Amino acid sequence: MRALIQDRYGPAEAVRVGDVPEPVPADGEVLIRVRAASLNGSDRENLVGSPFYARLGGLRRPRNPVPGSDVAGVVAAAGSAVTEYAVGDEVFGELAGYRGGLAEYVATPPRLLARKPPGLSFLDAAAIPQAGCIAFKSTRGIAPGDRVLVNGAGGAGGALVIGLAVHLGAEVTAVDRADKADYLRRVGASDTIAFEDEDWAARRGRYDRVVDLVGHRSPFRVHRALRPGGVYLMVGGHARVLLATFAAGWSIRREGKRVKVLAVPQSRADLEAVTALVVAEKAAPAVDRVYPLEEAREAFARLAAGDNRGKIVIEMP
Ligand SMILES: NC(=O)c1ccc[n+]([C@@H]2O[C@H](COP(=O)([O-])OP(=O)(O)OC[C@H]3O[C@@H](n4cnc5c(N)ncnc54)[C@H](OP(=O)(O)O)[C@@H]3O)[C@@H](O)[C@H]2O)c1
């Protein structure tokens, strides 16, 4: 079958389209005929092999050479122990192990998969899983009138975070490159900050919630941007800062402020909940560009350069 193949960690040149054996599903797995897959910031991390957790799937090279975690497709075969899905079912979700999706077929345990709503295209469904679960968890508890800042909002996950926050009644400030400001306003931000020009953390006492997709500031610094009772959630970013935020966050409790790392486990329930909101047009994953599988290296080059505004989707042959 055709697949994107990654033999080493490195720039976009580390991936190429080629042929690999079709996977055979185990008893507890389904085989999905992939119709579309999408890229996340985590695929960029898995491409270059950094931060350290991106090498959990192989220290020197990825053990599973096929990248791609978010897929939508049709069940082509089901192992003997699978009871919840049958051949022909349309499904989507994030793959356990975060790899294998950029191929014509992938075998995976069905526990993370959800049924694709009939009105949702495969391309749109593939754009939801990881970004949707991040958005769903990081916006939980936002109240009408809250001031929310989303740092790193112009990449794969930001549009859904902004969209859900606005849906919950928040006023959203989005931070990213200056040339992504128009895009960020289009997906719902009422204010933007260009990170090259301004340090959002210097805006003292402003936000009820900060969702940080690219955290690189000390936990002792970010809390100053919070209003009393506000919360800073570090979703992604530098490994060193992740560890510091995890270790020190509990000690930052002044004025009811909280600073913490937000773990977003892969979750079918969260995927179904956020997808219901997408179907009801309360929020949308912004699709940046759609590439055919044969041009997946170009898609990775765009992702690696950070030129995408929202989700890059790969359509399978
Ligand atoms: N907590 C969990 O359990 C969990 C689960 C899944 C994923 N994650 C993580 O969550 C993150 C997901 O984010 P994503 O997929 O939306 O990432 P993404 O597509 O890489 O987007 C990040 C955005 O931030 C921008 N950016 C870079 N440096 C910045 C800076 N200094 N200030 C502000 N913005 C900056 C990037 O621009 P450029 O591209 O121009 O650099 C890009 O537009 C990833 O790090 C992933 O590993 C966490």
Q: Are residues 172 and 237 in the same domain?
A: yes
Q: Are residues 30 and 55 in the same domain?
A: yes
H-type alpha helices, the chain: 41-48, 122-126, 129-139, 158-167, 181-186, 219-222, 239-248, 268-279, 296-305
pLDDT tier, 158 (very low <50, low <70, confident <90, very high otherwise): very high
Query: What is the predicted pLDDT for the residue at 247?
Result: 87
Secondary structure E strands in 144-205: 147-151, 171-176, 191-194
Closest ligand 1 atom, residue 263 Cα: 3
**Does the beta carbon of 42 lie inside 6 Å of ligand 1?**
yes
Residue 16 forms part of a structural domain: yes
**Does the beta carbon of 154 lie inside 6 Å of ligand 1?**
yes
**Does the beta carbon of 31 lie inside 6 Å of ligand 1?**
no
18 Cβ contact partners less than 8 Å away, ≥ 6 residues apart: 2, 3, 5
**Does the beta carbon of 41 lie inside 6 Å of ligand 1?**
yes
Residue 267 forms part of a structural domain: no
pLDDT per position as a tens digit, 249-284: 777 777 889 999 999 999 999 999 999 999 999 999
Mean per-residue pLDDT, 75-100 = 97
CA distances to 46, 72, 197, 291 from 79, rounded to whole Å, are 29, 19, 54, 31
| CATH number where 159 lies | 3.40.50.720
With beta carbons less than 8 A apart as the criterion, state whether 58 and 148 touch. no
What is the Å distance from ligand 1's center to 75 Cα?
31
Q: Are residues 188 and 91 in the same domain?
A: no
User: How many domains does the chain fold into?
Assistant: 2
Q: Are residues 85 and 151 in the same domain?
A: no
pLDDT per position as a tens digit, 138-152: 999 999 999 999 999
Order of all β-strands in the sheet with 171-176: 191-194, 171-176, 147-151, 207-212, 226-234, 258-261
What are the beta bridge partners of residue 72? 36, 92
Query: To test the ligand 1 pocket, which listed residue (151, 214, 233, 271) has its Cβ within 8 A of the most ligand atoms?
Result: 214
Q: Are residues 24 and 86 in the same domain?
A: yes
Q: Which two tokens stand for residue 36?
A: 């579309």
- Strand pairing of 90-94 and 70-78? antiparallel
**Does the beta carbon of 44 lie inside 6 Å of ligand 1?**
yes
Q: Are residues 113 and 153 in the same domain?
A: no
| CATH number where 40 lies | 3.90.180.10
Q: Which two tokens stand for residue 203?
A: 């805006």
Q: Are residues 164 and 243 in the same domain?
A: yes
What is the Å distance from ligand 1's center to 38 Cα?
15
Q: Are residues 19 and 84 in the same domain?
A: yes
Mean per-residue pLDDT, 67-85 = 97
**Does the beta carbon of 306 lie inside 6 Å of ligand 1?**
yes
Secondary structure E strands in the chain: 2-6, 15-19, 30-39, 70-78, 90-94, 105-108, 114-115, 147-151, 171-176, 191-194, 207-212, 226-234, 258-261, 287-292, 311-315
**Does the beta carbon of 82 lie inside 6 Å of ligand 1?**
no
pLDDT per position as a tens digit, 101-155: 999 999 999 999 999 999 999 999 999 999 999 999 999 999 999 999 999 999 9
With beta carbons less than 8 A apart as the criterion, state whether 74 and 35 touch. yes
**Does the beta carbon of 175 lie inside 6 Å of ligand 1?**
yes
Residue 10 forms part of a structural domain: yes
How many whole angstroms separate alpha carbon 312 and alpha carbon 300? Answer: 9
Q: Are residues 93 and 120 in the same domain?
A: yes
Q: Which two tokens stand for residue 204?
A: 């003292």
**Does the beta carbon of 192 lie inside 6 Å of ligand 1?**
no
Q: Are residues 110 and 143 in the same domain?
A: no
Q: Are residues 45 and 159 in the same domain?
A: no
pLDDT per position as a tens digit, 190-227: 999 999 999 999 999 999 999 999 999 999 899 999 99
Residue 280 forms part of a structural domain: no
Q: Are residues 58 and 92 in the same domain?
A: yes
Q: If DSSP codes are grouped into helix, strand and coil, which group holds residue 292?
A: strand
Q: Which two tokens stand for residue 56?
A: 């959990």
How many whole angstroms separate alpha carbon 8 and alpha carbon 139? Answer: 36
Residue 275 forms part of a structural domain: no
The domain of 188 spans 131-261
What is the Å distance from ligand 1's center to 79 Cα?
36
Residue 19 forms part of a structural domain: yes
**Does the beta carbon of 152 lie inside 6 Å of ligand 1?**
yes
Residue 47 forms part of a structural domain: yes
With beta carbons less than 8 A apart as the criterion, state whether 202 and 139 touch. no
Residue 245 forms part of a structural domain: yes
Mean pLDDT over each residue of the chain, to the nearest integer: 96
What is the Å distance from ligand 1's center to 89 Cα?
32
